[in-house]
Structure formats: structure tokens, C-alpha cells
Amino acid sequence: MASDPTTRIYTIERVQHCDDQQRRHQLDDLLVIEEPMELRIDYAIAGKRASRSLAITMRTPGDDEDLARGFLLTEGIIASEADLVSLKRCTDGQGEESPNIWRATLAASCTFDPGKLQRNFYSTSSCGVCGKASLDALHHQGVMPVAPGPTLNAALLLQLPDLLRAAQATFDRTGGLHACALFNARGELLDLAEDVGRHNALDKLLGRALRRGELPLNDRILVLSGRASFELIQKSLVAGIGLVAAVGAPSSLAVDLSDTYAQTLVGFLRDARFNVYTHPARLT
């Protein structure tokens, strides 16, 4: 098995392939890389500096800095780029960078109380963590209902999944990644992120937007390659996104959350159709 660091893909050799005629032969296959990433945090408390491990997530390597930045934003640890003094890879005892361990140093003015954490931040590649603690945290972060923003032509919305799919370079080679993308009201693709975890892909996307000073994103359309879960809607609301469209189904909690915060939520956006679950006024 060999790794291609430029595309974050493994090549696994001599895999048995069986077709619909039950013919078997050997071939090479491409697999997306999945590795753990640990995020450590350095913060001020009671006039002193403290440090702790904050999260471990299974992710596709690449865009790790923006993944960490997006995670800190959407979990309410930071509210702006000014809350971060530095964000860099940790080093081992010999001064070498550890590729899977990152340290975020918070500004002294950034309030972080580990005693108020309702849960340990542990995310898997399949779904992430959500629940009542996350909903309470969203309210406590001061997240407000989404501003009205622009409207989008429904016929244009139908084209966005194909534009997203056409831009998924790594998915074309592996078939094993989730993706999310930001579009403007003219249907232009502005940014895209891929990851083995759908929540990681969104954190990468929002981390880049934070770094570029683009938040809030109330004039953007977020398109998800899969379903719309509670956690993804929670993250999108932190960024102020007004319209979320998913190729798959939304969950009941996702619909409730979008409705509460005046966000338009679209599901089953495929095969020239879609369902609008909340606040349809953004679609014409």
C-alpha cells in the first residue's frame, strides 16, 4: 500500500474485483486516507496559562489548519480570528513536527472555561457529536436568526449539485469523500472542501472563511453532498448561512433548528427536484 501525499490517497495493490458475471480478476484500487487529528488548546485562566487536549477527530489529512480553525469557531471556543494568537503543528522531543497534532493558542482576552464544557469533544468520521448540550451551547454563543440575504432562483438551485460534483477531484478517484461548497446567488462556486467526515469538510470550509474575514455568510448558499444533520446545521448557523441545500435528507432536529433561526433548508436536491422544509421566501 502506497500513499500519495499530494492527493491524500492510498493505492492498494492487487484487490479482487468481481463483476455481475461473477468474473474475478486482480486490480489496484484507490482509497481515501483517514487518520486521527488531535487539537490541543493553550488558554488563559485566573491569570495563568493552561493547556489541554480539546478534540480528536478522524479526518482526511490536508487543510488541517482550517479544520482546526473551523472547529474552534463552530464549537464556540473562538468568535473571530483575533481570538487566536497562533495555530500550528506540535513538535516532538527532537523538534520535528507531528503531522497529526495541532496546538491553538488563545488570546488572553478570549474566555475559555473548561469547567463549563458539557461533554468531551470527540468526533467520529461518520456523524460527529450533537444533542441538547450542543443546542444549549448554540444559544449561549449568542447565535442570532439569519439575516434575510439574497433570494435564489429555484431553477438555478437545481444546477448546484452537478457543479459541486464536477469540482470533487478526490471523490472522482476514490468515491469515498463527503463534500460541501459555498455558492453565491448567481450560482457561482466560491469554495469547496472534501473530507471523509462531513462535519470536518464543513469545518474546513468555514475555517477558511474565518481566516479570510468573510463571516458572516448570510449571502452564501451552502450545498452538502449528503444529508443535513443537526450538527451541520448548527455549524452553518454559527457562520450565519441563510440557505442550506442537501442532496440527501434532513433530520427532524435539523429542520427544527433551521426553522428556529430563520434559515432556509432544502433537502433531496437531486433528479431535478427538491423539498423546501423551512423559510421558502429565499427561493423564487
The reply to whether 271 sits in an annotated binding site is yes
Dihedral sign for Cα atoms in the order 67, 216, 137, 49: positive
CA distances to 168, 180, 186, 268 from 189, rounded to whole Å, are 12, 11, 9, 20
Burial profile 230-255: b = 16 or more Cβ within 10 angstroms, e = fewer: bbbbbbbbbbbbbbbbbbeebbebbb
- Which of 90, 127, 130, 180 is catalytic? The answer is 127
Give the Cα separation of 210 and 135 in Å (integer). Answer: 22
The reply to whether 273 sits in an annotated binding site is yes
Closest listed residue to residue 279, CA positions, set 268, 263, 267: 263
Contact 267, 228 (CB under 8 A): yes
The reply to whether 230 sits in an annotated binding site is no
Give the Cα separation of 73 and 235 in Å (integer). Answer: 9
The reply to whether 259 sits in an annotated binding site is no
Look up 127 and say whether it is catalytic: yes
Instruction: Give the residue ranges of the annotated binding site.
Output: 268-273
The catalytic residue positions are 127
